[in-house]
Amino acid sequence: MFTQMSRGLHAVQVRWGLALLFACLLLLPVTSAYAAGIGGGSTVVPSNSDICVEGTVINHKEELLDDGRIVTATSSDGTAIAVAVDEDGEFSFEEGLAAGRWTFAIDVRKDGEEWEPVTPASFDVMLDYSQSDCYQIRFKLRQVVTVIVVKIDENHNRLADWEIKAQPAAGNAFAISYEGTTDANGEVVFRLTEGNWIFSEYAPDDVNYTPVVPTNGTQALEVEAPGPYTIRFKNRINIYGCIDVLKQDVPPVGSGDTPFPLQGWKVNLLKADGSLAAIGATDALGMVSFEKLPYGPYTVVEEERVGWETATVGSYDVELTPAASDCVQVVFDNQQADPEYCIEGYKIDSNGGIGLPGWTIMAEPLDDSDEDSDDLVTDGLGMYKFTFSGNDYRVPGSRYEICEDYEDIDGWVPVGPTCYTVTLPQQPGACVVVPNFVNQQVGHSQSSVTPTPTSPTTGCAKTHIVKKGETLYGIGYKYGISSKAIVAANPWVHNQSHMFVYVGQSVCIP
């Protein structure tokens, strides 16, 4: 009995020993092979522990793409596995993936079409055997269409530095806005998704323009693949010119000093018709700038001041043209003048108020001690001016009778007084203004003559004789009078074309 039990125990031991030996034999090859795979660079995975990765490809509208693109998985040691996206927009890696870092990438471009990634077209995933289900990844792409926007002027010159905006129109819900600036060739390139788009143009800060095509400055475009599209904005560019004015004090010759800027002097800018375009005042550097001026002719006129005289000229005619790339420079040189007394006025034709040249004007002193003055002849504008030294004690407060010699010129008759009495001030200053001497040709009826103003006798603080380049509003500004007040004080201007005033006419300063 003991023998039988011993034999039975021995049999059990043998069977357990054989089982253990068999298990060891099975385990040895697998462990060795796995270890060899880790160290040798090849990839061998346990047959019962494959790693899988599944994914989808969608467009920017969240729709699945079924266009057969290739997705590649590349391990850190360079092993690459490629699969195709199926008709449902899906792909999967079922075999060959081992634990470790893998790079998954999709072929973005497609023949005849333009695509770009919305999410990265390549990214890394760390794989391991702890994942019971397949890893899930996704690629998101969008199809784009090239749209070229061209910016030109009316002469088809390409324009740089214009901002162009592309904005999705109503219904294009998945798109975003884009901005671009035209390059040296006048172009900006957009890569847009399909759908309705609105394009708008915006000029540089210093450019004024009038739209030609399109007239409202915007364009709508239905963008569809494959493209490309080219659209164009055409404008008439209203380029402006500018004038820089310098006013300076010129020292006496031989003083060794240099010109110095004059601050606070008014400068008027007149249009071709004599109307006022702009008014400025010189700054601490003696400068005043007139900017954004349309091309054309202008006259720049400096302010007149007692005790100063022009060393060059008192006005400049300037023509602004596209050829002038920089501002036109104008320099007024002035110098101090000895104070003097003066009497001035005009001789004019009642027909149109135009000055009459060649007429003799006389100044007769009314007091025996007053200084005599020679007769004068009116110039081409009908103007005359008597001057008296400011250092002569006989002059201040003197009274003079100013008369015209109308009898020496045949065919003319006076309209109004032929003599006026004036009194010089006690201190040198602005000229005493004599009312206009007005004449008309024999045979012209008074009713057919254009009314010509003479110096008002009431309601005026003083009168101003119109000089070349002056306007009624400019004269009012010079004396600090509003445009409404200067017109109200001179109602006769309503009878003149465009309310212009002419050289030699008297303006009432209220």
Which amino acid type is present at position 46? P
β-pairing, 51-59 vs 135-153, is: parallel
CB-based burial label for 50 (10 Å; 0-12, 13-18, 19+): middle
Q: Which residues of the chain have pLDDT under 50?
A: 1-48, 446-458
Say if pTM beats, i.e. exceeds, 0.85.
no
| Distance, CA of 119 to CA of 223 (rounded, Å) | 23
| Distance, CA of 272 to CA of 475 (rounded, Å) | 17
Residue 213: both structure tokens together: 């095509």
| Distance, CA of 120 to CA of 106 (rounded, Å) | 9
Beta carbons within 8 Å of 457's beta carbon, 6+ residues apart: none
Beta carbons within 8 Å of 351's beta carbon, 6+ residues apart: 440, 441, 444, 449, 450
CB-based burial label for 21 (10 Å; 0-12, 13-18, 19+): exposed
At which residue do the structure tokens 């309503």 appear?
Answer: 494
3-state secondary structure (DSSP) of residue 198: strand
Which amino acid type is present at position 147? V
3-state secondary structure (DSSP) of residue 85: coil
At which residue do the structure tokens 């530095």 appear?
Answer: 161
User: Pseudo-torsion of CA 65, 69, 75, 81, nearest 10°?
Assistant: 120
| Distance, CA of 48 to CA of 52 (rounded, Å) | 12
Helix and strand element counts for the chain (H, E): 3, 35
Contact 53, 97 (CB under 8 A): yes
314 - beta bridge partners? none
Beta carbons within 8 Å of 371's beta carbon, 6+ residues apart: 365, 388, 392, 394, 395, 398
What confidence score (pLDDT) does residue 120 get?
95
| Distance, CA of 129 to CA of 97 (rounded, Å) | 10
User: Pseudo-torsion of CA 470, 473, 479, 484, nearest 10°?
Assistant: 160
Contact 246, 263 (CB under 8 A): no
Q: Which of 207, 75, 197, 227 is nearest to 151 (CA)?
A: 207
Q: How far is CA 262 from the centre of its chain?
A: 31
Dihedral angle sign, alpha carbons of residues 87, 92, 95, 101: positive
| Distance, CA of 457 to CA of 435 (rounded, Å) | 9
In this structure, the number of other CB atoms found within 10 A of the CB of residue 127 comes to 19
What confidence score (pLDDT) does residue 82 get?
95
At which residue do the structure tokens 């009168």 appear?
Answer: 463
Contact 303, 266 (CB under 8 A): yes
In this structure, the number of other CB atoms found within 10 A of the CB of residue 64 comes to 14
Distances (CA, A) of 344 to 377, 405, 431, 435, 501: 12, 16, 6, 9, 18
What confidence score (pLDDT) does residue 408 get?
67
213 - beta bridge partners? 234
Contact 436, 504 (CB under 8 A): yes
What DSSP assignment string belongs to 235-290?
Answer: EEEE--EEEEEEEEEPPPTTS----EE--S-EEEEE-TTS-EEEEEE--TTSEEEE
3-state secondary structure (DSSP) of residue 482: coil
For residue 84, give the DSSP letter. E
What confidence score (pLDDT) does residue 497 get?
63
What structural domains does the chain harbor? 51-141 (2.60.40.10), 143-238 (2.60.40.10), 241-336 (2.60.40.10), 339-448 (2.60.40.10), 453-510 (3.10.350.10)
| Distance, CA of 354 to CA of 191 (rounded, Å) | 69
Q: What ranges make up the beta strands (E) of 154-207?
A: 163-168, 178-181, 187-192, 195-202
